[in-house]
Chains A and B, each alone.
Chain A
Amino acid sequence: MKSLLLAQSLELKPVYRIEEIIPIDTISRATGYRMLKELEQLGLVERIKRGYYSVRTCVKQPADVLEHLIPTLQALKQARTFGKYYNESDARVAKNIINGLITLDYKAYELTHYQSPSKLFIYVDNLDNASTVLKNYGFSEGTKGSVVLLPHIGDFSNEIQRVYLDCIAYGGRSTHDAIAIELLYGDKLKTKGVFPVELISKVKEDMPRVPTIESNR
């Protein structure tokens, strides 16, 4: 897919102007917009506001890995965000009142103790029902909350595999969670991502561990 090649050729940046994504000197504007639309539909590109886009860092994964990320990317596209007090207590409350499968930040922390969690992502069977439960507890839906409901899309038969793929798909700091999961649970993973060697070294270095050899100074 040409749009994927286009996205993979982009340098990693926090924000892209539309003209930075569409090379209008080599393709027509119409083709460029069509490609951008395809990337948005895949969930690899997100429109922040008119003229500004972000590209998920997972776009750099090889095509055979990206294929396994599509269900997560689709779920993230349909995610609904909630907040009440807009602090860490929101996640504590939501954990107790919502039935579902926790993934990303909180699950990665439970598995690896590598990185502190921020948002609570939960896969639920029915987004509307779960949303009603949160609202009944005083949560409001918006863009700034830390409780994120995701629809069940894709395969959940191997929970660690799913959380690992979710972390790769979400990108950013979650990429480190994916590496930490692979370091600890590599034998449970059938599909594995591709990461820069220096990033793997960084995660290994920062993983909580018992010191081994003390300086004999």
Chain B
Amino acid sequence: MNLIDEAEKVAEELRDVVFVGAVAIFAHIGYWSRGTEDIDLAMATILSEEELEKRGYRKYYENNKWVTRTPRGIKVDIYTEDVGRIPISTIYETATEITGKNRKIKVACVEVLLITKHRAGRAQDIEDLQNLCRIRGKKLNWSLLQQIANDTEIAEIRNVVNAFK
């Protein structure tokens, strides 16, 4: 499965969404990224379960929890309030548009990804953060980082960027 192709279909079906997670990382660093075949997205206009179902997004009970899947069976996590304590409104305001094969999709900007990855702090987030800084570190918007992160987080990100500069 091509993650961006799937994201394009999801954007067509759910309209105004911003992709975070693997789709956004792939959009920023291409084939240097690794990820699972699931989709994380931020949604400002919340769709009810009925509305999601009408569009083919169904819920399944797996591993003791309910999981939503796209019409093509891809797991999708929908964030409606915040992602890593960054409000959905900020994620929308700072999102970047990329052009897929058939349409444009919105993805979270690098700065948002860096902060969410830093806050999650798991082994895979550390690797993603290193790759983002290595590949995109020279063009970071530091004033945006100052708006969405605290001083400690900014100092940490600066450390990673300096290390890979």
Contacts and interface: CB of A to CB of B under 8 A. Distances in A.
Contacts of B122: 12, 199
A45 B61 CA distance: 42
Contacts of A173: 34-35, 123-124, 127-128
A175 B53 CA distance: 35
Interface in A181-217: 199, 201, 204-206, 208-209, 211-215, 217
Nearest to B132: A14
Contact of A217 (B59, B69, B121, B127): B59
Contacts of A199: 122-123
B123 A172 contact: yes
Measured as residues with beta carbon below 8 angstroms from the partner, the interface class of chain A is: 35 or more
A57 B129 CA distance: 14
Interface of B: 3, 30-38, 49, 53, 58-63, 65-67, 69, 73, 75, 121-124, 126-130, 133, 156, 159-160, 162-164
A166 interface: no
A15 B159 contact: yes
Interface string A155-186: 00000000000000001110110000000000
Interface stretch (A21-29, A36-44, A47-55): A47-55
Contact of A211 (B3, B73, B129, B163): B73
Main secondary structure of the interface of A (DSSP, over half): loop
Interface string A1-21: 000000000001111010000
Contacts of B61: 212-215
15 contacts: A12-B121, A12-B123, A15-B130, A57-B126, A105-B34, A118-B33, A171-B127, A172-B124, A173-B123, A199-B123, A205-B65, A206-B36, A206-B38, A215-B60, A217-B59
Nearest to A201: B63
B126 A14 contact: yes
A116 B130 contact: no
A212 B67 CA distance: 11
A7 to B, nearest CB: 15
Nearest to A17: B159
A115 interface: yes
Nearest to A176: B124
A199 B159 CA distance: 26
Find the residue from B37, B126, B156 having the highest chain A CB count within 10 A: B126
Contacts of B133: 14
A12 B59 CA distance: 35
Contact of A171 (B63, B123, B128): B123
A161 to B, nearest CB: 21
Nearest to B165: A49
A21 to B, nearest CB: 13
A63 B53 CA distance: 50
Contacts of B34: 105, 115-118, 173
Given A13-B156, A115-B36, A211-B73, 10 more contacts: A14-B156, A105-B34, A115-B34, A118-B34, A146-B31, A173-B123, A175-B123, A211-B60, A213-B62, A215-B59
Nearest to A170: B127
Contacts of B3: 116
Contact of A172 (B58, B59, B126, B160): B126
Given A204-B63, A211-B60, A52 B35 contact: no
Contacts of B30: 87
Nearest to B75: A206
A206 B161 CA distance: 30
